Amino acid sequence: MGHYVEVESGVKVFVEDIGIGQPVVFIHGWPLNNKSFEMQISEVVQAGFRYIGIDLRGYGKSDKPWSGYDYTTQAADVKAVVDHLGLEQIVLAGFSMGGPIAIRYLTKYGTKGVDKLLLMGAAAPLFTQRDDFNIGMQPAEVDDIIAQIQKDRPAFLAQFADMFFEQEKSEEFLKWFQQLGLEAAAHSTIHSAIALRDEDLRDELAGISLPTAIFHGQKDQICPYELGEELERQIPNAYLVPFADSGHGINGDEPDKFNEELVRFLKGATGPKTD
């Protein structure tokens, strides 16, 4: 079933809520929405868990206010959903931009009510390079993306879909993926790109005490694999699952392995499956 939850006065976000059991709160990436996890819903529910898929403000079916696209506000929106639905012992599962939002949630609200953390192709601890951090895009490359969105957003999203996946996809799949991005507002997409460009979570990792799994594609052109290695180094109780044949869209590139590792983690695995 779908819920609308008012996260602040006049701003409602859409939440997909399917199944029963321990809630797994999925936080999608830029510029998508919770539909990007459609290949996970059946697996999660059949394994005895409750799928909670949030469309972040500005995306999917949620309201699209002008402001509030920084990680702190987005994390507050997630907290409002958790509180409204009375969710307990949640698994926080953040993909791409959803990764830093999940980390900021823990920084801001602590681990009360949170059982574990899953970071998937996470844009953390930084999405862009700094003088003392050489992984990821240059800030100027994000500025160029913003300019492309302002000029021709549909064309940019088509190009982005090609960068997103390593494995060949059908034309229909790529059109569907592009449509997910078009469901967002242009201003939301741009304001979130600014957050991705500017925000820094390096000081927020050492305090994460939860069991943490990090899923990352080794051929990721958007959030390089080195980011996953950095997260594993800095989060005390984390393990890294490499996806050798995946780009950024690991759940689309290697869906069987992704779903298997997802369910293993939800059921208590403390390391990747060994062949």
- Of 216, 220, 246, 253, which is the active-site residue? 220
Question: Is 216 assigned a catalytic role?
Answer: no
Question: Is 3 assigned a catalytic role?
Answer: no
- Of 55, 77, 248, 253, which is the active-site residue? 248
Q: What does DSSP say about strands 90-95 and 114-120: parallel, antiparallel, or unpaired? A: parallel
Distance CA 82, CA 143 (A): 34
Q: Is the peptide bond before 255 cis (omega within 30 degrees of 0)?
A: no
- Of 96, 188, 192, 246, which is the active-site residue? 96
Structure-token match 């997909």, residue found: 16
Structure-token match 């601890």, residue found: 125
3-state secondary structure 252-268: HHCHHHHHHHHHHHHCC
Distance CA 47, CA 63 (A): 32
Question: Is 191 assigned a catalytic role?
Answer: no
Specify the 3-state DSSP secondary structure of 17: strand
Distance CA 112, CA 251 (A): 28
Distance CA 53, CA 251 (A): 15
Question: Catalytic residues, which ones?
Answer: 96, 220, 248
